[in-house]
């Protein structure tokens, strides 16, 4: 017999969510993810994936996954520390470290649980974390889990960072102090000011943590935002995901030998959750090799993105301050953003609305992720749809 209390809770709150338009609806894609997808039998240009390099559906990636499954099986069989560490897991970590320019790396099962595990492995009660106010949800949750004091820093505001770092140091209240930031901010596409961050961190003795989920495979010839600035020996934690440009699933931290050794004995998702599948590890290695051997893939991503952004600007859209392929089309009003997305999808472009609380109130938008896999013809078709729908809704003239 189901709990009455639970049923009451669910019924009341589901209705409330639905009334406020916040109930998640989830579309099922027929077939795989790619530059074009089919939903309910309708083919759409997909501007909503993080599959930046089109790696998720590549034949050689699929083969790497299948070969690993044939060698190692479909599952690792245990957590890494018990007996779930296979040769392919160590190979992946060594490959990540080589690519990122660090001494070592540790792989997790996802970017989200990597942030859960890595932040709390090092930061504790009695410490403080300075955190950019627009950081990803997994950073926020990881910080909360750590028990450290969380101090919000205004978005990308280096004066505010310095003032709050000074205040935290001068207070004498904290043992360790960390600054944590996205490398590339996923909703606006702006890039963390790594050189300034490093300078402030050196002045105030801060630990530095860059979550480069949207920078890996995109910035620094694929090696990420930190390497883009040549600061791989200055940032303590280069965190990233294997799920976006890499095209697979998993998360990691690249850093010093000591940091990785500490996390391998302290990070709870590493210790208490079964390791990445061998196939995912092998496909991720393949993805890094592809980026190392074929710099043109990352270059194609940037060319496609630059083209798409230029065309949207030309027809009169506000695409914000993005410095990366992430292309928000900002319309302001939350309801308008919802309608805009709905009409785009009806007309063949799959682009999703992003509204408060994911972004500040009054900055509702539809977000686009052009990828290396989009042809120029697909992007032209998408721009034509943007022009028609934007004019119909009075967003552009
Ligand atoms: C997507 C994302 C994550 C989570 O990564 P997953 O591997 O999908 O769990 C973490 N941080 C940031 C900034 C992200 O954009």
Among 136, 149, 214, 304, the active-site one is 214
Q: Where are the domains of the chain?
A: 22-51+295-392, 58-293
Q: Are 238 and 253 in contact (CB under 8 A)?
A: yes
Confirm or reject: Cβ of 216 under 6 Å from ligand 1: no
- Determine the straight-line distance between the first and last CA of the chain, rounded to whole angstroms: 59
If one looks up domain 22-51+295-392 in CATH, what number appears?
3.90.1150.10
Active site residue 244: yes
Sign of CA dihedral 135, 28, 113, 235: negative
If one looks up domain 58-293 in CATH, what number appears?
3.40.640.10
**Per-position pLDDT tens, the chain of length 397:** 689 999 999 999 999 988 877 788 899 999 999 999 999 999 999 999 999 999 999 999 999 999 999 999 999 999 999 999 999 999 999 999 999 999 999 999 999 999 999 999 999 999 999 999 999 999 999 999 999 999 999 999 999 999 999 999 999 999 999 999 999 999 999 999 999 999 999 999 999 999 999 999 999 999 999 999 999 999 999 999 999 999 999 999 999 999 999 999 999 999 999 999 999 999 999 999 999 999 999 999 999 999 999 999 999 999 999 999 999 999 999 999 999 999 999 999 999 999 988 888 899 999 999 999 999 999 999 999 999 999 999 999 9
- Of the candidates 234, 232, 211, the one whose C-alpha atom is nearest the C-alpha of residue 221 is 232
Phi-psi region at 112: left, alpha or beta (left = phi > 0; alpha = psi -120 to 50):
alpha
Task: Quickly list H helices, 123-243.
Answer: 137-146, 158-171, 194-204, 225-228
Please report the atom of ligand 1 found closest to the CA of residue 114. Answer: 9
Task: Indicate the top mutation candidate among 137, 188, 243 to test ligand 1's pocket, ranked by most ligand atoms within 8 A of CB.
Answer: 243
Please report the atom of ligand 1 found closest to the CA of residue 186. Answer: 15
Please report the atom of ligand 1 found closest to the CA of residue 50. Answer: 1
Active site residue 154: no
Query: How many Å lie between the centroid of ligand 1 and the Cα of residue 196?
Result: 24
């Amino acid at each position: 017999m189901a709990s009455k209390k639970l049923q009451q809770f669910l019924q009341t709150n589901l209705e409330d969510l639905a009334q406020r338009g916040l109930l998640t609806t989830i579309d099922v894609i027929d077939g795989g993810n790619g530059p074009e997808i089919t939903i309910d039998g309708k083919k759409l240009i997909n501007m909503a994936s993080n599959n930046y390099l089109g790696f998720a559906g590549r034949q050689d990636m699929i083969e790497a996954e299948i070969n690993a499954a044939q060698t190692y099986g479909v599952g690792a069989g245990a957590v890494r520390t018990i007996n779930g560490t296979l040769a392919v897991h160590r190979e992946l970590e060594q490959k990540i470290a080589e690519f990122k320019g660090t001494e070592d790396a540790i792989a997790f099962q996802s970017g989200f649980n990597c942030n859960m595990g890595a932040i709390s492995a090092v930061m504790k009660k009695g410490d403080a974390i300075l955190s950019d106010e627009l950081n990803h949800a997994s950073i926020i949750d990881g910080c909360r889990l750590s028990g450290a004091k969380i101090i919000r820093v205004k978005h990308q505001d280096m004066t505010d960072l310095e003032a709050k770092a000074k205040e935290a140091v001068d207070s004498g209240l904290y043992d360790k102090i960390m600054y944590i930031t996205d490398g590339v901010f996923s909703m606006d596409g702006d890039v963390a000011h790594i050189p300034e961050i490093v300078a402030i961190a050196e002045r105030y003795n801060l630990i530095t943590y860059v979550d480069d989920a949207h920078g890996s495979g995109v910035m620094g010839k694929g090696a990420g935002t930190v390497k883009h600035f040549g600061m791989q020996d200055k940032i303590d934690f280069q965190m990233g995901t294997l799920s976006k440009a890499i095209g697979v699933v998993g998360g990691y931290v690249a850093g010093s030998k000591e940091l990785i050794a500490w996390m391998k004995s302290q990070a709870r998702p590493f210790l208490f959750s079964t390791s990445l599948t061998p196939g995912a590890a092998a496909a991720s290695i393949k993805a890094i090799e592809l980026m190392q051997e074929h710099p043109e893939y990352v270059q194609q991503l940037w060319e496609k993105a630059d083209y798409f952004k230029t065309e949207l600007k030309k027809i009169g859209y506000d695409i914000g301050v993005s410095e990366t392929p992430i292309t928000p089309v900002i319309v302001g009003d939350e309801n308008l953003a919802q309608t805009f997305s709905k009409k785009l999808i009806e007309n063949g472009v799959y682009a999703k609305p992003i509204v408060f609380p994911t972004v500040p109130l009054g900055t509702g938008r539809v977000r686009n992720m052009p990828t290396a896999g989009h042809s120029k013809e697909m992007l032209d078709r998408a721009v034509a749809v943007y022009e028609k729908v934007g004019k119909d809704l009075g967003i552009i003239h």
